[in-house]
Amino acid sequence: TDKFKGVIVAMNSCYDSEGNISTTAVKKLTRFLMDKGVDGLYVGGSTGEGLLQSSDERKQVLEAVLEESQKAVTVIAHVGTLTTKESVDLAIHAEKAGADALSAVSPFYYGYREESVGKHWMRIVDSTELPFIIYHIPSTTGFSLTPSLLKEMIKSPKVIGIKITTASTFELQQFKVMGGPGFMLFNGPDEQFLAGRIMGADAGIGGTYGIMPELFVSLEREYRAGRIAEAQQLQYTINDIIADLLQLPVYAALKALVKMRGVDCGDVREPLPQLSEIHIPLINALYHKIMNA
Ligand code: NAY
């Protein structure tokens, strides 16, 4: 389905100066990204700080995005939490609110095995009619999606794909093959967008797209047109920026840059690391790199 192709921004959540959700700023960010021509928005994921928010706050953010986007772009609601009950509640809300798909990280903390993770995910899947995208991010959850669990889960036609945040394009390609015809892969590492697309990813979902949407939209366009050298050049430009970003507390840096691009989304929530004075020169330099790219 074409709805899930291309550049899907893992968007930031926005807070006011007191740290509460600012639906006004969420809408402004939604508009900014839509105006840049992105294909979709992934709400409440890692970049979106979903796991640092209450369920009620997560619902507010999603509703604001949907109100502003009015079906003009694809909206994927990340509903991963530590409990099945809460994730199911968020999933049901997302369906009612009008999201296009659900996604969830595996539950973490207790070191669950495949069987428990599978049950958790399938309870979410069964709770709505929406398509579901598995969020495979072993570096943060400690759980690595196995071929046997994938095989079980794709028995449900609602399980349409995997968002894969590992460095391996081999793993990406193997999951793509395991999923069979029509099964979709969403590239996680932004620094490998082009590599992921070439190896079978249908789209990318990424946090750094939000600070340089123009570059990713151009990269996707060049790739689709078969202009691989041009696409590679854009990925190099992007990677030069990402290499700098990785020297900083990434999520805080993304928010500082989003602010410089015109949308004040407040600070990242604790305990995420904040920026300090010493980071300001690099942030400024990065902003110039982005605007001159
Ligand atoms: C999400 O849920 O926010 C994402 O999909 C973003 C994926 C990001 N990975 C993590 C762990 O946050 O955008 C990437 C990442 O920030 C980028 O590739 C820089 O390494």
Q: Is the pLDDT reported for residue 241 higher than 90?
A: yes
pLDDT at residue 1 greater than cutoff 80: no
Q: pLDDT tens digits for 41-79?
A: 999 999 999 999 999 999 999 999 999 999 999 999 999
Structure tokens at 64: 């604001």
In the structure encoding, which two tokens stand for residue 203, read together? 């789209």
Buried residues in 161-184 as b, exposed as e (16+ CB within 10 A): bbbbbbeebebbbebbeebeeebb
Check pocket membership of 207 for ligand 1, CB cut-off 6 A. yes
| Per-residue pLDDT band at 185 (split at 50, 70, 90) | very high
- Which residue of 41, 208, 240, 254 sits with most ligand 1 atoms within 8 Å of its CB, as the best mutation to test the pocket? 208
User: Among the options 15, 28, 36, 135, which is catalytic?
Assistant: 135
Say yes or no to pLDDT of 173 above 90. yes
Q: What is the pLDDT of residues 260-285, one digit of tens each?
A: 999 999 999 999 999 999 999 999 99
85 is catalytic: no
pTM listed for this prediction = 0.97
- pLDDT value at position 153? 98
Give, in degrees to the nearest 5, the angle at Cα 236 between 234 and 240: 120
Q: How far lies 147's CA from each of 93, 103, 151, 201, 284, in Å?
A: 30, 18, 6, 17, 44
Average pLDDT over residues 92-104: 98
Instruction: Identify the pLDDT of residue 2.
Output: 86
Percent of the chain, pLDDT > 90? 99
State residue 215's pLDDT score.
Answer: 98
| CA distance linking residue 227 with residue 128, whole number of Å | 40
Q: Whose CA is nearest to atom 5 of ligand 1?
A: 206
The CATH number that applies at residue 259 is: 3.20.20.70
Which contacts (CB < 8 Å, 24+ apart) does range 183-186 have?
Answer: 183/154, 184/4, 184/133, 184/160, 185/161, 186/4, 186/8, 186/133, 186/161, 186/162
**In this predicted model, what pLDDT tens digit does every residue of 78-88 receive, in sequence order?**
999 999 999 99
Q: Is 198's pLDDT higher than 80? A: yes
Question: How many domains would you assign to the chain?
Answer: 1
- Whether ligand 1 lies within 6 angstroms of the CB of 50 is answered as no
Residue of 43, 190, 272 to test ligand 1 pocket, by largest number of atoms within 8 Å of CB? 190
User: Is residue 235 over pLDDT 80?
Assistant: yes
> Residue range 107-111: average pLDDT?
96
Write down the mean pLDDT value for the chain.
Answer: 97
Spacing, Cα 250 to ligand 1 middle (Å)? 9
pLDDT in tens, 117-169: 999 999 999 999 999 999 999 999 999 999 999 999 999 999 999 999 999 99
Name residue, tokens 């398509």. 131
Choose among 100, 81, 88: nearest CA to 42: 100
Distance CA 261, CA 90 (A): 31
Residue of 163, 176, 255, 259 marked active site:
163
| Pocket flag, ligand 1, residue 45 (CB < 6 Å) | yes
Residue 205 CA, ligand 1 centroid: distance in Å: 8
CA 9 to centroid of ligand 1, rounded, Å: 10
The string of pLDDT tens digits covering residues 27-43 is: 999 999 999 999 999 99
The residue whose C-alpha atom lies closest to atom 20 belonging to ligand 1 is 189
Which range marks the domain in which residue 30 is found?
Answer: 2-292
Q: Tell me, yes or no, if 163 is annotated catalytic.
A: yes
Can you tell me which atom of ligand 1 is nearest the CA of 139? 11
Predicted ipTM > 0.95: no
pLDDT at 99 over 80: yes
Mean pLDDT, to the nearest integer, of 187-212?
A: 98
